[in-house]
Amino acid sequence: MSPRLDNHLALDHHLAAAAQRFGTPAYVYFADEIAARLDGLRQAFGRWFAVSYAVKSNPNPALLGWMRAHLDYLDVSSGGEFALSQQAGWDPAWISFTGPAKREVELRRAITANVGELVLESLREARLADAIAAELGRVQPVLIRLAPDRVPKGFGDQMAGRPSAFGVDVEDAADILPQIAALPHLRIIGLHIYSGTQSLKADAICDNWRIFMQVFSDTCAALDLHPEKLIFGSGLGIPYHPGEQALDLAAIAQTIGAELDAFKARFPDARLVLELGRYLVGPAGYFVTQVVSVKQSRGSRIAICDGGLNNNLAASGNFGMVLRRNYVMHRVDRDPSDACETLPHDISGPLCTSIDKLGGAVALPRLDEGDLLAIHAAGAYGPTASPLHFISHPLPVEVMVLGGQLQDITRLLGETG
């Protein structure tokens, strides 16, 4: 059994061991913590939802392979993610394929491989998929992604309720969906909505799901559609910054449970699917970087590390953050008995740019050359969402901790030492 991540000494033991064995900068993922988060989701929502993992949040093949025994579905957003999922052993029948700009070659490969569902985001895409399926002599199951006309306040990113590249606007559905339904080599088996993400407000999540249920109900009635699958983009957020509180899943379930019961009764033959990514993997990952140099500059103590925005763009505040805020981070203890007072530190990376800053005035025990710093909530949107090759510093390693054992699962090739 691996230690719970709230056990500070056990956590630091594994982070320090990963750094010592595999080097830094490093991403360390605790698979048992992902499993525990999945268990929590199923306890709260299992009576309504299956779970689909959004591969874009962390496409590491070793994690995807581990997930085969734990998750119901995968959702990919490119032909590359589809190929990675297949290489990790996933049956294409359990994969859905979203994305607003699918290319002909991606659609052809997915349809040829018998992808479970294409999630269509436009009439153009539907016509292209129909033509490919006709050439292959098959009928391709599809879901249609809809973009509601509003998203409640409280989401970190919105993909509907305003001009958007994603899905069919509900205002246009009455015109576009019958045209898709008439295409002979596509079979509409359901609908998909993912309109907002990274919400820590339970009321906003419940309101958003109410919008989903209304849109699904109205659309199915208009099309006389008896859906086999309805996908709810979860929107479940995670705490990144000091003072933020994790969602209470049980409270969300209690608030909206009766409405989900009624909705499920209305569509008894449909499988409801909760699609999410960062909620599962984000808090289970840590970014570990080593202090290379420390300097005093005009009253500030600056720790300069071997990993920066090139390895962890999100923590630098340059991945969708409007106002930069520090992530939660801690010094990996070199001596558990060292209880020194904290000092404000500016945390910089190794790059020759002023925006390479991982923290400002962060209260930490004194950082010195050689110390390790761990940034929390780093399991999602890490290496693949960062400009890894900017200034050609070493690429980060990736390490999975499973049952207390460490494994190098670095995917990206290149110099890592």
Sign of the Cα torsion 386, 387, 389, 392 reads negative
**3-state DSSP assignment of residue 133:** helix
Lookup: tokens for 83: 């190929």
- 374's enclosing H/E stretch is strand 372-375
Judge whether 360 and 346 are in contact, CB under 8 Å.
yes
99 conformational bin, left if phi > 0, alpha if psi -120 to 50, beta if neither = left
Return the bridge partners of 97, or none: 76, 118
> If we measure between CA atoms, which residue out of 89, 22, 29, 91 comes closest to residue 57?
29
Return the bridge partners of 332, or none: 372
Judge whether 90 and 53 are in contact, CB under 8 Å.
no
- The yes-or-no answer on residue 352 being catalytic is yes
Judge whether 367 and 345 are in contact, CB under 8 Å.
yes
Judge whether 373 and 329 are in contact, CB under 8 Å.
yes
Q: Where are the alpha helices (DSSP H) in 23-160?
A: 31-45, 61-67, 79-87, 104-112, 123-136
Q: How many whole angstroms separate alpha carbon 289 and alpha carbon 215?
A: 46
Lookup: tokens for 16: 């320090």
Judge whether 267 and 227 are in contact, CB under 8 Å.
yes
Catalytic entry in 220, 305, 340, 352: 352
Q: How many whole angstroms separate alpha carbon 75 and alpha carbon 80?
A: 12
Return the bridge partners of 75, or none: 54, 96
Number of neighbouring beta carbons within 10 Å of residue 249: 19
Judge whether 196 and 212 are in contact, CB under 8 Å.
no
**3-state DSSP assignment of residue 390:** helix
Q: How many whole angstroms separate alpha carbon 247 and alpha carbon 144?
A: 29
The residues annotated with a catalytic role in the active site are 352
